[in-house]
Amino acid sequence: MDSCPSIKNILLLDSEGKRVAVKYYSDEWPTNNARESFEKSLFSKTQKSNARNEAEITMFESNTVVYKFVQDLHFFVTGGEYENELILATVLQGFFDAVGLLLRGHVEKKEARENLELILLCLDEIVDGGIVLETDGNVIAGKVATQSIDSSAPLSEQTISQALATAREHLTKSLLT
């Protein structure tokens, strides 16, 4: 047992157990096949639980897993067998809160896929090399929002789909005039 809390992975899966965004910090699953097998098995074990309102905790393959479901997304944080569940739950809640803020309350698969770069930046802000950096959803979302805004974007922060729509609109106007 390490004195510093360590995260093995953070997973965001859809309602069918398919990847939306995942990040591994442990060599316990060295290949992509091993990782996908872990994700599929974990999803199968947890899909029937009622983790909609509060996070649930389970032991899975000698790991402590904290998870929560919202709409068609399943959030998971995995730590070692003896990892503190409260720390894992805090990381999960921070990730969930940050994603909710960045997706403006529309926490669903379609929005998550359209804003995948923001979710991946969230993962980078929360954990680095398995070490927890930040757990406050507001701070995480703030850091991600400032990283994703370029100098020409309005302060209201455009998503990729919004930016593409704006670019398409400007291109259409310039071609028609």
Place 166 in a pLDDT band, splitting at 50, 70 and 90. Answer: low
φ/ψ (deg, to 5) at 29: -120, 85
- At 108 the pLDDT is 86
φ/ψ (deg, to 5) at 4: -100, 130
Tell me what the mean pLDDT of segment 105-119 comes to.
Answer: 88
- At 151 the pLDDT is 40
Place 49 in a pLDDT band, splitting at 50, 70 and 90. Answer: confident
Higher per-residue pLDDT: 74 or 177: 74
User: How open is the CA angle 147-119-99, to the nearest 5 degrees?
Assistant: 100
Q: Output the six-digit token pair for 20.
A: 């939306």
Q: What domains does the chain contain, in order, with CATH numbers?
A: 7-176 (3.30.450.60)
Tell me the per-residue pLDDT of 115-151, one tens digit each, with 9 for 90 and over: 899 999 999 999 999 999 999 988 888 888 876 655 4
CA distance between the termini of the chain:
67
- At 171 the pLDDT is 74
